[in-house]
Amino acid sequence: MTAVVVTRPRNTAAGLWLGLCGLLALSIISMMVGKYGAGPVALFGAAKAALTGGMTDPILSTVLWNVRLPRVLAGVCVGAALAAAGATYQGLFRNPLVSSDILGVSAGASLGAVLGIFLSLPVIAIQLLGFVGGLLAVAAVYAIGASIRGRDPVLTLVLAGVAIGAVVGAGISLTKILADPYDQLPAITYWLLGSLTAITHFDAFSILPALIIGFVPLFLLRWRMNVMTLGDDEAQTMGIDTFRTRALLIAAATLITAASVSVTGIIGWVGLIIPHMARMLVGPDFRKLLPASMMLGGGYLLVVDMLARSIALIEVPLGILTAAVGAPFFLWLLAAGKKGWQ
């Protein structure tokens, strides 16, 4: 597999600060967008009342702080996590066309959540099953890859991920067939499409420990990630333990992806297209690419979520909108690849 690097003139520090300010602005705008309109004055008044204990419209207060604020927090965190995982996998596998679910973490999380819905378990149990399912799927993939010696470890992991994904997909399909078509099946279908609709404060904060634990090694190993993109032979000659480094990076990326999918369902394409956008802005250096991907991913998911609750009478699942944007971008990548990437 060949690495793909798109170079552009760039001012990294200014770009990162601009991205941070843009993410903050999008978060504020997202608080105001929806069926129940809230302009800047109303938002400022509600925020002032919340901080000082003053009086405000109870409906507006509920909409802003109990409905929209958790969505904004979850949108930023999940978008950042999926984009960071996608950037990590693209670097590890030296392939620009892989995403955060290449090793089956999304499929495993889906099977766990689908089983939870099928068994009529409470929401927290469904999320826990989804989280554990994602981790187990990738653990199985990595165990298979580690047991096969003498072959390209990257290719082995990809093929093992395809196999495990197929098995897990069969389990999901079987569960959908057995599910109650009037109650469980619609819930399963909607969950698989991904959404921030039912996100609560508990959901938004419950994934933070897993995200923090996953982000820390990604940031600490950013320079090693640059070396890993050169290939195993080159990395080993530079003193990198490729097996241990790859395992740690995969574990970190899997952890943040599983935590994200467990509360939102499958939101595709974020881990594929956002790292490319970030690479075009700040270059392939993973020390800069990782934070840029996280900010762009969080902002992108906020924009998609605003569209989801604004463009139709009913809320459109996020997976539909991300696919509508991601697929054309993917085709553009294929067209660019024919012309030759550097």
Under 8 Å between Cβ of 137 and 168: yes
- How far lies 211's CA from each of 82, 100, 113, 115, 256, in Å? 10, 14, 19, 24, 5
pLDDT at 2: 44
Closest to 280 measured CA to CA, from 4, 8, 3, 2: 8
Question: How do residues 94-142 score in pLDDT, each as one tens digit?
Answer: 887 888 888 999 999 999 999 999 999 999 999 999 999 999 999 999 8
The helix (H) or strand (E) run that includes residue 189 is helix 184-193
pLDDT at 280: 84
Under 8 Å between Cβ of 1 and 341: no
> Domain-by-domain residue ranges, the chain?
92-266, 268-331
Find the range with the poorest average confidence among 48-57, 182-191, 276-285: 48-57
pLDDT at 5: 45
pTM for the complete prediction?
Answer: 0.90
Tokens of 47: 């925020």
Q: What gap in Å lies between CA 259 and CA 114, rounded to an integer?
A: 15
**Per-residue pLDDT at 335 exceeds 60:** yes
Under 8 Å between Cβ of 255 and 213: yes
Under 8 Å between Cβ of 305 and 30: yes
Find the range with the poorest average confidence among 96-100, 296-300, 306-310: 96-100
Question: How do residues 215-260 score in pLDDT, each as one tens digit?
Answer: 999 999 988 888 888 877 888 888 888 889 999 999 999 999 999 9
Q: What gap in Å lies between CA 146 and CA 139, rounded to an integer?
A: 10
Which fold is adopted by the domain 92-266?
A: ABC transporter involved in vitamin B12 uptake, BtuC (1.10.3470)
pLDDT-above-70 percentage for the chain:
93
The whole-number average pLDDT for the span 280-305 is 92
pLDDT at 147: 85
Q: What gap in Å lies between CA 328 and CA 269, rounded to an integer?
A: 11
Q: How confident is residue 12, by pLDDT bands cut at 50, 70 and 90?
A: low
Q: What gap in Å lies between CA 23 and CA 30, rounded to an integer?
A: 10
pLDDT-above-90 percentage for the chain:
56
Q: How confident is residue 11, by pLDDT bands cut at 50, 70 and 90?
A: low
Q: What gap in Å lies between CA 54 and CA 13, rounded to an integer?
A: 40
Q: What gap in Å lies between CA 234 and CA 237, rounded to an integer?
A: 5
Question: How do residues 196-216 score in pLDDT, each as one tens digit?
Answer: 988 999 999 999 999 999 999
- Nearest 10 degrees: Cα torsion 200, 314, 298, 15: -140
- Listing DSSP states for 262-299 in one string gives HHH----SHHHHHHHHHHHHH-S-HHHHHHHHHHHHHH
Q: What gap in Å lies between CA 308 and CA 306, rounded to an integer?
A: 5
Find the range with the poorest average confidence among 24-28, 35-39, 56-60, 121-125: 35-39
**Per-residue pLDDT at 4 exceeds 50:** no
